[in-house]
């Protein structure tokens, strides 16, 4: 959490291996990411990190099933297995009946659940969520937060979330407050 310009997006981009630090280091599984090539960073992103964006970032010409399958394409998995995995994930987020719908044919909450399913496509250890409820009504936002909490508590996924919303933040186990690119306060929530 933190005000606009505090460094939240930069921190998430570095954790997500989209950017590398100009000083200091970020380690993932004992590897300093600033020492990895772009190809190696892409492999880390594809296998270890799932991304959930505020704007959903679904491809409008693809169905929900195809959007969820997309990250798996780059992991050398057969089409049959990609379809099976994507269908399974859409079922988990309650969208089995919407698999063949395109984003424009779905509500904002449904699109965000497709985005969550897509973030899980390669069974990542870490899920980065940038304002995952920012474009949703409060009821749908609570549903999305429930999914994320289940991923953390039942499946052991690490969820790192950026939010401005105190109601969303109350779902966290730990909050880091950023200002001017620095952590100025942090605390555990129990």
Q: For 161-171, give one letter per residue: b (16+ CB within 10 A) or e.
A: bbbeeeebeeb
Residue 133 CB neighbour total at 10 angstroms: 26
Q: Is residue 59 part of a domain?
A: yes
pLDDT tens track of the chain, all 190 residues?
A: 988 889 888 888 888 888 888 888 888 888 888 888 888 888 888 888 999 887 889 999 999 999 999 999 888 889 999 999 999 999 988 899 999 999 999 998 899 899 999 999 999 989 999 888 887 788 888 888 888 898 899 989 999 999 888 888 888 999 999 999 889 998 888 6
Q: Which residues constitute the domain of residue 83?
A: 38-165
CB 125 within 8 A of CB 107: no
- Asked if the structure places residue 132 within a domain, the reply is yes
DSSP for residue 123? -
Whats the size of the chain, residue-wise? 190
**Structural domain count, the chain:** 1
The answer to whether position 30 is within a domain reads no
In a domain, 94, yes or no: yes
CATH of residue 43: 3.40.50.300
Residue 101 lies in a domain: yes
63 occurs within a structural domain: yes
- Flag whether 112 is in a domain: yes
Position 53 in a domain: yes
């Amino acid at each position: 959490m933190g005000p606009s310009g505090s460094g939240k997006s930069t921190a998430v981009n570095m954790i997500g291996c989209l950017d590398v630090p100009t000083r200091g280091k970020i380690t993932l599984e004992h590897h300093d990411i600033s020492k990895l090539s772009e190809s190696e960073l892409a492999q880390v992103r594809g296998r270890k990190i799932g991304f959930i964006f505020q704007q959903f970032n679904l491809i409008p010409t693809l169905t929900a099933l195809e959007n969820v399958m997309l990250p798996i394409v780059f992991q050398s998995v057969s089409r049959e297995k990609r379809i099976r995995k994507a269908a399974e994930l859409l079922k988990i987020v309650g969208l089995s009946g919407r698999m063949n719908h395109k984003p424009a044919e779905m509500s904002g909450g449904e699109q965000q659940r497709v985005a969550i399913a897509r973030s899980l496509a390669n069974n990542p250890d870490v899920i980065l969520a940038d304002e995952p409820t920012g474009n949703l009504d409060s009821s749908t936002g609570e549903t999305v937060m429930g999914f994320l909490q289940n991923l953390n508590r039942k499946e052991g996924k690490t969820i790192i979330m950026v939010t401005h919303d105190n109601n969303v933040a109350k779902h966290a186990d730990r909050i880091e407050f950023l200002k001017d690119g620095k952590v100025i306060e942090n605390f555990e929530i129990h």
